[in-house]
Structure 1
C-alpha cells in the first residue's frame, strides 16, 4: 500500500458552508488553495485534522447532493 503524505493545510483559505447558521450548529468549512485537492474540516474545532479529498471526489460528492 502506498503512503501518501498529508498536505500542509496551513496554506488553505477556509470558508464556511453557506448552509451554516450563526447558532454554532454543525458546520463544515472547505479549504481552497491546494491544486487538485479539497480539504474539509469541522468549523467548531478547526485545530483538529480534517479530511482531504481529490477535486474529482469533491465534485462527485456535490453532484450527488444536487
Structure 2
C-alpha cells in the first residue's frame, strides 16, 4: 500500500481526477480516498510510488508521501 497526503484535494471532482490519473499509469490499481483526511491510498504491484506521485502531480495536485 502506497499512501499520499494531498492537501489540495477538496471535492468529488478531485477524487475522480486523482483516481483516473493513478489508474492511467496502473490500470489494475485499487485506489482508496479519504477526502476529509486528504489521504490517497493505492494498492498496486505494477508501479512504484514515484510513478504514482508523478501521475497525481500531472493531474494538478501536490501529493506528499506518507
TM-based fold match above 0.5: no
RCO higher in structure (CA 8 A, sep ≥6): 2
**TM-score normalized by the length of structure 1:** 0.29
Higher helix share: 2
